[in-house]
Amino acid sequence: MDIATFLGIISAVGLVGLAIISQGNALIFLDWPSALIVIGGTFGATLINYPLKDIIRVFKVVKTAFFYKEEDYISLIPQMVKYSTQARKDGLLGLEKVLPGIEDQFFYEGIRMVVDGIPQISIKQIMQTEIDFQVARHRVGISIFQAMGQYAPAFGMIGTLIGLILMLRQLDNPTQIAQSMALALVTTFYGAILANIIFLPIAGKLKERSTAEILKKEMILDGILAIQSGDIPGIVEQRMVSFLPTEYRRIYSEENLK
């Protein structure tokens, strides 16, 4: 579970709500026509812009913004060094013994291809293609939420225009003017809230998750190619460490000094 995502949404909604309540009657911010304009318009425009299958797929993976196990870069390095040592001792065919213990499917397929004697250039092409397609799939999901983050304020403005038009047609009726003005302002409020608390932050979170997953796959690919090339374990370790962000390198160095 990603506590930061939950805390972010709760704190943002809570503080905005608290500010509204502290100023008086919060019920004036509840308006169904405004909600229908913003929510209905946003999802309608999204359906027009993207294939239905992409939208269904992205809402299935959006859970990664809330429930996510952080990628473990550190433990990957000694594992790769261990496989490098075993390959130099028993040959590449000796890696067949470690296959049952590899949980990551991408890692498993890479080692399996090494054991099967597939040429290095082919392994690199196959694994890089899988990485590229994963990047493309993630990019679609991120772009959908970014698009909704753009559509929501736009439909908020459309609701504002609708409210202003209704207001101008009811200048002789003060009650209707007030209702139309409420519609005009609340729709803009709804659009801004949905865009800046829900859609755009989720797009940013998915982008961060994608970057982490791709980094791990790039590390795995480079390590597998190093093992197949016959690099010594020390070189394999250095190649793997070079992928780590600074804070992870420090953690890895501290663990090795223990």
Alpha carbons 186 and 188: distance in angstroms, whole number:
5
232: left (phi over 0), alpha (psi -120 to 50) or beta: beta
DSSP tag of 38: I
Alpha carbons 220 and 213: distance in angstroms, whole number:
11
What are the domain boundaries of the chain?
A: 1-30, 31-74+121-257
Q: What is the pLDDT of residues 118-152, one digit of tens each?
A: 999 999 999 999 999 989 888 998 999 999 999 99
Tokens 């679609």 belong to residue? 140
Say what percent of the chain tops pLDDT 70: 89
Q: What is the pLDDT of residues 215-239, one digit of tens each?
A: 999 999 999 999 999 889 889 988 9
Q: What is the pLDDT of residues 7-41, one digit of tens each?
A: 787 888 778 778 777 766 667 778 888 889 999 99
Give which of 136, 137, 156 is closest to 148, Cα–Cα.
156
CA Rg, the chain, in Å? 26
